[in-house]
Structure 1
């Protein structure tokens, strides 16, 4: 049985429509008045349309809730190519009102739109709600831009099949057939989902703390908070959030739930894919790039996630490159590595790609090497304006770049190439002093100030950032090209006995290399402080300043 603790669920349509006319006139009126249509237009051209749910009506103001897809559509116009953007809201009747995107939360998929008119809407949804989320058929309501109310039956199910996307119902409400509010209908790429009323209510109660923007009026792009202020973008998930609804969707994100018998003590979920690093796009270190460089980086860096059923498996960064006569995405093979056997891929995973314009599309695994932790992911229906430029032999000041899969935020942190060594046993690994999070895995290491790619990043929680140099990546890509000619697309050269696998010249490994990534876990605040007990101390002459490095994963003092 589904319970209220589940924030996200899956939906699929049912061919046996429930007869809308069987509902009482009063119930039909209330349900109808709770829904309006929304269209994002450039002049007379409709760019995006969805439904919205009425949540507040007062003198000269009506407030609506909808999916954050609206906000993503607005943000995607970051070059200002649309000069007459307007939000048009239509309730019952023929009157059309101009709306304003008041606030949004990309992480939790909410947006608020207001109009400066008091409409006769029904806003009592949360007073008439289900106590336990139903399993089975419910009623989804949407309103088309013509003003027509469109009811449809959907089935709540954890293992729902793919559903053809229709914008009409996105952002609209779900009800039981006795009129009790279930949640909000939304789409994530190809699969339909819903957000429960409990998650909605908790978010509405704390929007003053959680909202991501000031009021956004058209003619300029919404101004987002800096990534540097991590508490305002991805605040840590605490144990007491389990009762507030902030993290009701932990399970769908692939994160562990805290043990019931575990004492609270302010416990925090660590090693998540949502932890940010460095500076937000156009802030801080981005000022050190040339103007064309940071614009190009924004165009070629993407975020990827793999899913098994409705549960997220892994998230990382990737970037478009020219390869073998086409454009594809280079990323980490951790995206598809099996959680039960690190020497295999999980063939049941599907891949989603978040493009720079915030559009999400399906990705296809083309090639991978688990030994070197490299993968190529192809996409269709995507025009790549400018793939990454490569400059393999220039070293100096560099920057590691990543993109968040949930928010789409682009981030970077700078550092130098260093002679440190850690515990990864790949002979090709080089390190920089850049400090990233798991979100940066698979992202490019670029030189400064011209932003050309010199390598691809992996992750080490303590010791800077390990990466592969482009000259080694180029050899791996050449091997992939040979496999393509032989028709071995998508296959690694590794058998279960580990006796055979492709290696570069000079690599004397007798087994497939391991690329560990720290698992998400719950920790007490006192356990978050990293110990330096393994420091190799050396007495320095008086007046000499200490400099530190790492040797084999242990901290050392450098002369």
Structure 2
């Protein structure tokens, strides 16, 4: 175990999925990010009041609080924001937290520090720092909730003080997160000041998306999914990789059917497979900007491999000079292309390869025979 703190169950909300959510201190996020490594196998375990251990996903967080989401209904008593209280400088406080290994409920008495605002200090003189208090509830004289502990400060003289969010402020913060009113993950967008953490890989069946999948989405230039969409079996739709028609497969391809290609003369199929390529443009941060198809053509006076394609390959990119273009001719030829010409009005672009492809069959679009066929 690398870190442990406490959490408070939240109301179920309106999600279609059956979920149990907990609010805790953002310390959990900071420790999670500090401790994750290339193996990326960190898990967030949740010890329930009955001693049961389940696993959750870190999703939303801000500077002070974080949300842990568990799949399914868990036997917990959710927080009631109507049954709260306020404190005065003379109030005694009782702090609660749950030990992870023993599942024991711990408590400690404290006093508010009026001069420091929403802070309190333990009644007993102690130099020990208990992280288990973070994310736990704060009770007033009437044993009603007054806040949640989210931060601590240890001074040079050994004095420890804890900072808390009053219940009305915690309720406002959670309302700003907007998770309780959202019926579907797909319709959620991050509010201002709220971030989302990518869960790490694990053997838990609900953790279906790992860092490598997010990196792949970023490299392809796709927008990031809303929090927990992919983790709960969501899928990316309308991708550049969507296929259409019948796939023409090359020798050694693991599957496929000839379909419509069987109706064409063999020479036509061979020529097409040796002159049609795929292209992708990339931004400075290696995120893909666009992907499309291109046709290898004869460019008179040029000995390089030249490709005619769509200007959409570059129209979404501001810094044309820094644009990187990759070209692929199945099954194994890949190369880097350089933009020679483009016209957004006619939606055409010409790309020249830095290193020629082998065994290609360029289309002579300027020949008289081709021109007659186009008329």
Alignment TM class, shorter chain as reference: 0.3 to 0.5
Output the TM-score relative to the length of structure 2.
0.43
Output the TM-score relative to the length of structure 1.
0.30
